[in-house]
Amino acid sequence: MRTAPRAEPRALTVDEALARILERFTPLPAEEQPILDALGQVLDEDVRAANDVPPFANSAMDGYAVRAAELAITPVLLPIAMEIPAGSAATTPLQPGSVARIMTGAPLPAGADAVVRVEDTDGGERVVEIRKAVAGGENVRAAGEDLRKGELVLQRGLVVRAAEVGVLATAGRASVHVVRRPRVAVLSTGDEVVEVHEALEPGKIRDANRWSLAAAVRAAGGIAVPLGIARDTADDLRRALRRAAEEDVIVTSGGVSVGDYDFVKTVVGELGAMDFWTIAMRPGKPVAFGEVLDKPIFGLPGNPVSALLTFELFARPALLKLQGRTRLRRPRVTARLTEDVPKPPHLRFFARAIYDSANGTVRSTGPQGSGILRSMALANALIDLPIGPSLAKAGSEVTVILTDAPEDR
Ligand code: AMP
Ligand code: MG
């Protein structure tokens, strides 16, 4: 990885930055997971059924198993030769001229070829009056109608959802190979930053970013490893980053701008390499990407909105790619803006917003300062405004990123 010159930070566009980041990530190796824990992970094997599903022909209804040909004239009275609840199986074939009381899911006895619903009979227990004829195969679920033994039922690359967990279970699989989840170290920096439970002495603020970013890691399918707060010294950062590099990916916040105490870039350069420093966007202009002891690091800005927003735009797609996902982009729609939104002309601007799908409109969440985390908490979307104009006008059509919706491509 190339080390950028220290003095003149080169600004990248958002798309350039994302492309360079994604280049650096390939899916992690597979792990074996119990099927429930595999929820949300990507299959790393083709799954075949161990047996037919259902394994035997069975009744789709509570009723009477019959030979359909014997019901040519209805109503007809027939003796009940046996009763077959779900979970048991008839040991003898059904004799001609008789029927079996049968429950939903119970195997059809040999000789029977259809089921009459209890509603189409008098519900008799020794003899039953059947009032309606059935065709052969009616109300019967054939063996293997869902899955055939040996059939490919789930393909490598699929994301495991609830339905896939069920299919795995019916296919006889208690565990499955899926792409491993990344472990992500999350580190805050700053002499002013204190723990949530600590008293707020003068000049101190509570650590918001470690928790919001750890939550965002989890929401992206990763395993968050919150690691504490590094002081604004090269020594403490070095120590913290060495520990962080034990995980698959490192996410830090703060200390990446041009202040006297912004040591992240320096220490990353020393323990690895810095790839770039600034992105032509707001919020989140100073974003560092590089590696520390061969592990990718996202050096996100300290402002709580900038940290979370740059995570969403750059780190989340990378974590998804690590997990073998191929859909890395949130859905985008066009919506009509209901208010003027000012923006810096030379930067791409992401306004935190409320999208109203019923009306196809969008408005900002109010004050958009990088420190106003409420602007993000109220949002279900981002308005994505291009470099160039200094204002998006009320009534104009704008691009909206639906940040609450799963990635669709
Ligand atoms: P920095 O990039 O370190 O100069 O930080 C920019 C701003 O974000 C400053 O106002 C910091 O106090 C604030 N900040 C940095 N880290 C955190 C954090 N973990 N939680 C909340 N605010 C933070
Ligand atoms: Mg700082």
pLDDT, one tens digit per residue, over 189-198 is 999 999 999 9
Amino acid at site 351: A
Measured torsion, CA atoms of residues 152, 156, 157, 158, in degrees rounded to the nearest 10: 40
Q: Where in the chain is the domain with CATH 3.90.105.10?
A: 30-52+151-179
Helix (H) or strand (E) holding 212: helix 209-219
Nearest ligand 1 atom, CA 257? 2
Check: CB of residue 224 under 8 Å from CB of residue 184: yes
Nearest ligand 1 atom, CA 189? 16
Query: Is 6 a residue whose pLDDT tops 60?
Result: no
Q: How far is the CA of 317 from the centre of ligand 2 (A)?
A: 26
pLDDT of residue 278: 83
Q: 9 falls in which pLDDT band (50, 70, 90)?
A: low
Is this model's pTM higher than 0.85 or not?
A: yes
Assigned fold of 58-141: Molybdopterin biosynthesis moeA protein; domain 3 (2.170.190)
The residue whose C-alpha atom lies closest to atom 17 belonging to ligand 1 is 302
Q: Where in the chain is the domain with CATH 2.40.340.10?
A: 332-401
CATH class of the domain at 30-52+151-179? alpha beta
Check: CB of residue 50 under 8 Å from CB of residue 149: yes
Helix (H) or strand (E) holding 195: none
DSSP annotation string for 259-318 = STT--HHHHHHHHEEEEEEEESEES--EEEEEEETTEEEEEE-SSHHHHHHHIIIIIHHH
Q: Kindly report the CATH number that applies to the domain delimited by 332-401.
A: 2.40.340.10
- Mutation probe of ligand 1 site: the residue of 188, 201, 204, 205 with most atoms within 8 A of C-beta: 205
The residue whose C-alpha atom lies closest to atom 6 belonging to ligand 1 is 302
Q: 244 falls in which pLDDT band (50, 70, 90)?
A: very high
Check: CB of residue 10 under 8 Å from CB of residue 277: yes
Residues with CB in 5 Å of ion ligand 2:
190, 254-255, 302
Q: Give me the numbers of helices (H) and strands (E) for the chain, helices first please.
A: 8, 28
Query: Is 4 a residue whose pLDDT tops 90?
Result: no
Residues at CB less than 6 angstroms from ligand 1: 188, 190, 192-193, 205, 207-210, 253-257, 259, 301-304
Mean pLDDT of 43-60: 95
Structure tokens at 39: 């929820």
Which of 393, 397, 358, 365 has the alpha carbon at shortest distance from 381? 365
Q: Where in the chain is the domain with CATH 3.40.980.10?
A: 14-28+181-322
Assigned fold of 14-28+181-322: Molybdenum Cofactor Biosythetic Enzyme; Chain A (3.40.980)
Query: Is 13 a residue whose pLDDT tops 60?
Result: yes
Q: Tell me the pLDDT tens digit for each residue of 201-214.
A: 999 999 999 999 99
Q: Tell me the pLDDT tens digit for each residue of 26-47.
A: 999 999 999 999 999 999 999 9
Q: Tell me the pLDDT tens digit for each residue of 85-107.
A: 999 999 999 999 999 999 999 99
Query: Is 276 a residue whose pLDDT tops 80?
Result: no
